[in-house]
Amino acid sequence: MVERNSRRWWALGAISLAILAITLDITVLTVALPTLAVALKASESQLQWFVTAYTLALVAGMLPAGLFGDRFGRKTMMAVALVLFTAGSIACATAPGPAFFIVARIVLALAGAVITVVALSTFPVLFSEEERPRAVGIWSAANFIGLPLGPILGGWLLSHVWWGWIFLMNVPVTLLALAAVLLLVPESRAAEAPRFDGVGILLSSVGLVALMYGVTEAGNSGWGSASAILPALAGLAVLGWFGLWERRLASAPGGHPLVDLTLFRSRSFTWGVLLTAFGALGLFGVMFGLPQYVQAVMGLGPQASGIRLLPLVVGLIVGAVPSDRVAARIGAKLTVAAGFLVIAAGSALGASMTVGSSGFFVVAWTFVVGAGSGLGFSTAASAALVELSSERSGVGSALLQAVIKLGPAFGASILGSVLNSTYQHGLNLTGLPGTVASAVKGSVFAGITVARQLGSPTLLASVRTAFVSGMDHSVAVAAGIAVVGVLLALVFMPSRRHSAAGQSQV
Q: Are 53 and 106 in contact (CB under 8 A)?
A: yes
For 141, half-sphere exposure in the C-beta direction (CA atoms, 13 angstrom radius) is 16
Question: Radius of gyration (Cα) for the chain, nearest Å?
Answer: 23
Query: What angle (nearest 5°) sits at the alpha carbon of residue 108, between those of residues 124 and 289?
Result: 90
Claim to verify: residue 442 and residue 375 sit in the same structural domain: yes
Claim to verify: residue 56 and residue 130 sit in the same structural domain: yes
DSSP string, 383-405: HHHTT--SSSHHHHHHHHHHHHH
pLDDT (0 to 100) of residue 391: 58
Residues 6+ apart with CB under 8 A from 377: 140, 276, 279, 280, 283, 320, 339
pLDDT (0 to 100) of residue 254: 61
DSSP string, 219-263: HHH-TTSHHHHHHHHHHHHHHHHHHHHHHHHHHSTT---SS-GGG
Claim to verify: residue 184 and residue 239 sit in the same structural domain: no
- CATH number for the domain spanning 161: value is 1.20.1250.20
- 3-state secondary structure (DSSP) of residue 10: helix
Element (H, E) at 377: helix 359-385
Nearest in space to 423 (alpha carbons), one of 356, 472, 458, 456: 472
Q: What are phi and psi of 196, to 5 degrees?
A: -80, 110
Instruction: Report CA torsion sign: 218, 480, 278, 357.
Output: positive
Claim to verify: residue 387 and residue 290 sit in the same structural domain: yes
Integer angstrom CA distances of residue 33 from 41, 154, 218, 227: 11, 11, 21, 24
- Bridge partners (DSSP) of residue 272 are none
pLDDT (0 to 100) of residue 6: 64
pLDDT (0 to 100) of residue 45: 65
CB count within 10 Å of CB 72 equals 15
- The total domain count for the chain is 3
What is the total residue count of the chain?
A: 506
Claim to verify: residue 157 and residue 186 sit in the same structural domain: yes
Q: How far apart are CA 215 and CA 407, in angstroms?
A: 10
Residue type, 152: I
End of a domain among 241, 257, 273? 257
Claim to verify: residue 326 and residue 433 sit in the same structural domain: yes
Claim to verify: residue 372 and residue 280 sit in the same structural domain: yes
Q: How far apart are CA 383 and CA 379, in angstroms?
A: 6
End of a domain among 179, 196, 213? 196
Element (H, E) at 351: none
pTM of the model: 0.77
Q: How far apart are CA 86 and CA 219, in angstroms?
A: 31
Q: How far apart are CA 75 and CA 221, in angstroms?
A: 42
Claim to verify: residue 369 and residue 429 sit in the same structural domain: yes
Q: How far apart are CA 482 and CA 169, in angstroms?
A: 36
Claim to verify: residue 250 and residue 321 sit in the same structural domain: no
Q: How far apart are CA 462 and CA 425, in angstroms?
A: 11
End of a domain among 177, 196, 215? 196
Q: How far apart are CA 103 and CA 108, in angstroms?
A: 9
Q: How far apart are CA 126 and CA 371, in angstroms?
A: 27
pLDDT (0 to 100) of residue 393: 63
pLDDT (0 to 100) of residue 181: 83
Question: DSSP code of 264?
Answer: G
pLDDT in single tens digits along all 506 residues of the chain:
444 556 778 888 877 887 887 877 777 776 777 778 778 887 756 776 787 788 788 888 887 887 788 778 888 998 999 999 999 999 999 999 999 999 999 999 899 888 888 887 777 777 777 777 777 777 777 777 776 677 778 778 877 888 899 888 888 888 888 888 888 777 877 766 667 777 888 888 888 888 888 877 776 677 778 888 898 899 999 989 988 888 888 777 665 677 777 777 788 888 888 888 888 777 776 777 787 788 788 877 766 777 777 888 888 888 888 888 888 888 889 999 999 999 999 999 999 988 888 888 988 999 999 899 889 888 888 887 776 666 566 667 777 777 777 777 677 777 877 888 888 888 888 878 888 888 888 778 888 888 888 888 888 899 899 989 988 998 999 999 999 999 999 999 887 544 433 333 33
Task: Look up the domain containing 340 and give its range.
Answer: 262-506
Residue type, 83: V
Claim to verify: residue 253 and residue 352 sit in the same structural domain: no
Claim to verify: residue 209 and residue 305 sit in the same structural domain: no
Residues 6+ apart with CB under 8 A from 362: 293, 294, 308, 311, 350, 353
Q: Are 402 and 207 in contact (CB under 8 A)?
A: no
Integer angstrom CA distances of residue 211 from 77, 280, 397, 403: 27, 17, 20, 11
Residues 6+ apart with CB under 8 A from 395: 63, 66, 67, 70, 194, 258, 259, 260
Claim to verify: residue 356 and residue 482 sit in the same structural domain: yes
Query: What angle (nearest 5°) sits at the alpha carbon of residue 74, between those of residues 204 and 407?
Result: 40
Q: How far apart are CA 61 and CA 114, in angstroms?
A: 7
Q: How far apart are CA 217 and CA 213, in angstroms?
A: 6
Most distant pair of Cα atoms in the chain: their distance? 75
pLDDT (0 to 100) of residue 57: 85
- For the chain, first and last CA: distance in Å? 22
- Bridge partners (DSSP) of residue 346 are none
pLDDT (0 to 100) of residue 423: 86
